[in-house]
Amino acid sequence: MNGKLYGIGLGPGDPELMTLKAHRLIKAARVVAYPTLAGAESFARSIAENIIAPDAVEIKIDIPMTVAREPAQAAYDIGAAAITEHLSQGQDVVVLCEGDPFFYGSFMYLFSRLSDRFESEIVPGVTSVTACAAVAKTPLSARNEVLTIIPGPLGDTEMRSRIDATGSAVIMKVGRHLGRIRALLDDMGLSARTTFIARASLPSQQVLPLGRAPDPAPYFSMILITKGQDPWLN
Amino acid sequence: MNGKLYGIGLGPGDPELMTLKAHRLIKAARVVAYPTLAGAESFARSIAENIIAPDAVEIKIDIPMTVAREPAQAAYDIGAAAITEHLSQGQDVVVLCEGDPFFYGSFMYLFSRLSDRFESEIVPGVTSVTACAAVAKTPLSARNEVLTIIPGPLGDTEMRSRIDATGSAVIMKVGRHLGRIRALLDDMGLSARTTFIARASLPSQQVLPLGRAPDPAPYFSMILITKGQDPWLN
């Protein structure tokens, strides 16, 4: 009998924002897998490090830093093959995912390679989006407001039309795009309704007016725009 | 010295999808508050019921079932006054919130009434959005895809333009709007890329093709549309 594949969301960074279910499954795991980016330390692993069993097998899936498709695809192929070996021997494999496994994560590339052949379960996690709203003390969306999640690398024209059309917006993966996005939001007259948050829930967390945000911003940073004002709040 | 106000996200329904931090704070709470809708049982309280101390004070904030603003505002005023009494006496108050406190919840109406006067902390939770994606085994969004969260009561014209403009969409609070939304998605040719999910993570959970969804749908149900296809998945 084959083992089961788990994609486990670990939340935004504070280990206490892990779910009880994630905690239970990771503590019991005999095989743990996680992606690393170009050899850097795995953020997902760092969230779980205190509960991974010392004798657990660890599968490190190193993803090259590139926008090209083929090298990353090859890395996921290699990772999926390593996981397959354990699943085929009847061992469950727990894949550690920062945030939520199906929300802008790399887990879906392993899932798409493995879920046809093996039983799987996804354990959702707290996303950086609601963690940022919490530390910024800013409600995200209420009642009939539309909320749009926008990746930072999106071009100016598309980003502007998405922000124009929504009540609240969250711009993810700001990083080196900060200067460009800040200029766009200034031009749209939205700077005053905008908060910059980096590494929400970690000790190094930053919550700043967008005008004071560091440029370039850390990779794990976002901009929260609460344009629409719920009349019930007043 | 005043007490502290906590808004605590409990996740989508399975008590094991509560965070470790929510679990710790609720277990220790001496005063617990939660909204109920027109006298019905509180969903948030039901998620936490096994860990609320038997001798904790419980503040029930009954919200009338109405689209009118004034009666609900009056109910939040009464709830905020009851919470104020405890905070002023130096007692912390934990407000239980299904999902996440700042994501389409009622907590923000208490927060807006209390956060100027009292210290507060928001503990983010797993939202129904990622819980639904997990049980539907459907990745929400990848790489540079835009994800739009759309409340079900939104009118057809606006809903159509929002769905047209996005990669993936989640329609929340489907309930009695199911028939209308299903007709719209059929007309847009999107039915095949659409999943209906009710009460994700609870024993009564339903995951169905949209064509087989019950009409009217339960209040806690949503429709997941994954229109954009990440080329890296293939």
- The average confidence (pLDDT) of chain B is 93
Question: pLDDT value at position A230?
Answer: 60
Q: Count residue pairs from A and B with Cβ separation < 8 A.
A: 185
Interface test mutation site (partner A, options B129, B154, B161, B170, max chain A beta carbons within 10 A): B129
Question: pLDDT value at position A215?
Answer: 92
- Among residues A123, A142, A175, the one where a domain terminates is A123
Q: Residue type for B170, please?
A: V
B70 and B141, same domain (yes or no): no
A234 has pLDDT over 70: no
Model ipTM value:
0.95
Q: How many CB atoms lie within 10 A of CB B70?
A: 9
Q: Do B103 and A127 touch (CB under 8 A)?
A: no
A147 has pLDDT over 80: yes
Task: Indicate the number of domains in chain A.
Answer: 2
Q: CB of A118 within 8 A of CB of A5? A: yes
B159 and B192, same domain (yes or no): yes
Q: Which of A36-40, A210-214, B111-115, B197-201 is predicted with the least confidence, judged by mean pLDDT?
A: A36-40
Share of chain B above pLDDT 90, in %: 82
**Residue A219 pLDDT class (50, 70, 90 cuts):** confident
A60 and A145, same domain (yes or no): no
Q: Give the domain CATH number at B91.
A: 3.40.1010.10
Nearest to B165 among A109, A123, A165 (CB): A165
**Average pLDDT, stretch A182-191?**
95
B61 and B159, same domain (yes or no): no
B143: left (phi over 0), alpha (psi -120 to 50) or beta: left
Share of chain A above pLDDT 70, in %: 97
B229 has pLDDT over 80: no
Q: How many Å lie between the alpha carbon of A100 and the closest alpha carbon of chain B?
A: 7
**Residue A232 pLDDT class (50, 70, 90 cuts):** low
- Among residues B67, B98, B123, the one where a domain terminates is B123
- The average confidence (pLDDT) of chain A is 93
B117 and B42, same domain (yes or no): yes
Report pTM.
Answer: 0.96
A31 and A71, same domain (yes or no): yes
B139 and B109, same domain (yes or no): no
Higher pLDDT, B165 or A5: A5
- Of A102-106, A115-119, A137-141, A225-229, give the range with the top mean pLDDT: A115-119
A231 has pLDDT over 60: no
Q: CB of B185 within 8 A of CB of B210? A: yes
Higher pLDDT, A220 or B170: B170
Higher pLDDT, B17 or B228: B17
Q: Do A162 and B146 touch (CB under 8 A)?
A: yes
**Average pLDDT, stretch B8-24?**
98
Query: Which residue segment(s) compose the domain that A98 sits in?
Result: 5-123
Interface test mutation site (partner A, options B130, B170, B234, max chain A beta carbons within 10 A): B130
B117 and B157, same domain (yes or no): no
**Average pLDDT, stretch B97-125?**
96
A102 and A177, same domain (yes or no): no
Annotate B97-135 with three-state secondary structure. ECECCCECCCHHHHHHHHCCCCCEEEECCCCHHHHHHHH
Q: Give the domain CATH number at B190.
A: 3.30.950.10
Q: What is the pLDDT of residues B34-57, one digit of tens each?
A: 999 888 899 999 999 999 999 999
Q: Which residues of B111-143 are buried (b: 16+ CB within 10 A; e: fewer)?
A: bbbbeeebebbbbbbbbbbbbbbbbbebbbbbb
Q: Do A120 and B137 touch (CB under 8 A)?
A: yes
B234 has pLDDT over 50: no
Question: pLDDT value at position A72?
Answer: 87
Q: Do A124 and B134 touch (CB under 8 A)?
A: yes
A95 and A150, same domain (yes or no): no
**Average pLDDT, stretch A177-199?**
95
A94 and A185, same domain (yes or no): no
- Among residues B123, B138, B161, the one where a domain terminates is B123
Q: Which of A23-27, A92-96, A142-146, B186-190 is predicted with the least confidence, judged by mean pLDDT?
A: A142-146
What is the biggest distance separating any 2 CA atoms in chain B, rounded to whole angstroms? 60
**Residue B94 pLDDT class (50, 70, 90 cuts):** very high
Q: How many Å lie between the alpha carbon of B207 and the closest alpha carbon of chain A?
A: 14
Nearest to B124 among A24, A134, A232 (CB): A134
B182 has pLDDT over 90: yes
B105 and B209, same domain (yes or no): no
